[in-house]
Amino acid sequence: MLRQAIGAVIAALAVASSADAGDLGARSGSIKDAPAAYGSSLWEGFYIGANAGYAWAGNNGGNIEVFDNQGKPYATGPLNYDLSLEGGFAGLQMGFNRRAGNFVFGLEADIQTRVDGGSKTSFDPPAIFNFDYTASLDVAWFGTLRGRVGYARDRTLIYATGGLAFGEVNYSARYLITEPCCSGGFANLKSSGVETGYVIGGGLEHAINPNWSLKLEYQYINLGSGKAEAPLFFANGSPSGEKVKADFDTDFHTVRLGLNYRFQREPEPLK
């Protein structure tokens, strides 16, 4: 999906660039006159677009802790586990810009498709029992609402961005005892909900013509920390009276390539 989306963006860029080159050549006789033809209104107004990118994180795992039937943690204390999050995504964006000299100020919103991941961590003593912990983290969708401030030079805009991030975060895990004496004891942990946080980043946007532009953007998205817990069962399904708790983080980096269409009237032909 990621390759197809990036391919579509590049194809659209090639078509738009080709059409613009022919149009400018007819009007001014030289492609090098293009920046002057755009005027000071470049980057102004409403725009919509599409993007595709890749997301990754370091380690979203946290701690696992087991509590006895009195609700007290066992002496081994919390144990750290691994949890990965990475993958491609695609989405849509829309925004509005105002320009003051070379400075551009704007507001942009975007919505993106799923990113997920998971991993398995095995524990030996000092755990209470040898066990495996298999966890998955699924960001079913995510989006941002951001301010943008940038500096425009000719057809290129360099900008910083930041604001609100949000998304649906689904976490699930299985705690499975592998110790011979108690093999098969288990707990199934789940957590799900729409979370909010923050996003910061920056990018580079280049105008192909007054209406079309291509951007490359980095974002760091943090949707905060979560917790999950579940009762611990023996292998035969009867409750042990114990409980397993775990925490996790949902933060990740993204790099995306986007194509925007700006609702801006073409400039008057050069005389």
What average pLDDT does the segment 252-267 reach?
A: 88
Tell me what pLDDT residue 120 has.
92
**Per-residue tokens: 271:** 């005389």
**Three-class DSSP category at 270:** coil
- Residue 162 identity: G
Per-residue pLDDT at 55 exceeds 90: yes
What average pLDDT does the segment 252-271 reach?
A: 79
Q: What is the dihedral of CA 63, 67, 71, 73, to 10 degrees?
A: -70
Question: Between 129 and 152, where is the model more confident?
Answer: 152
Kindly report which listed range (52-66, 68-82, 233-247) carries the lowest average pLDDT score: 68-82
Confidence band (pLDDT; 50, 70, 90) for 266? low
Tell me what pLDDT residue 23 has.
43
Per-residue pLDDT at 40 exceeds 90: no
**Per-residue tokens: 256:** 């995306």
Confidence band (pLDDT; 50, 70, 90) for 39? low
200 touches 177 (CB < 8 A): no
Q: Is 263 exposed, middle or buried (0-12, 13-18, 19+ CB in 10 A)?
A: exposed
What is the fold of 2-47+58-262?
Porin (2.40.160)
Residue spans of the domains in the chain: they are 2-47+58-262
Per-residue pLDDT at 186 exceeds 50: yes
**What's the Rg (C-alpha) of the chain?**
25
* Dist CA 246 CA 243 (whole Å): 10
**Per-residue tokens: 182:** 């108690």
38 touches 208 (CB < 8 A): no
Q: What is the mean pLDDT of the chain?
A: 86
pTM of full prediction above 0.75: yes
What's the pLDDT tens digit per position in 116-126? 999 999 998 77
Q: Which residue has the tokens 């290129």?
A: 156
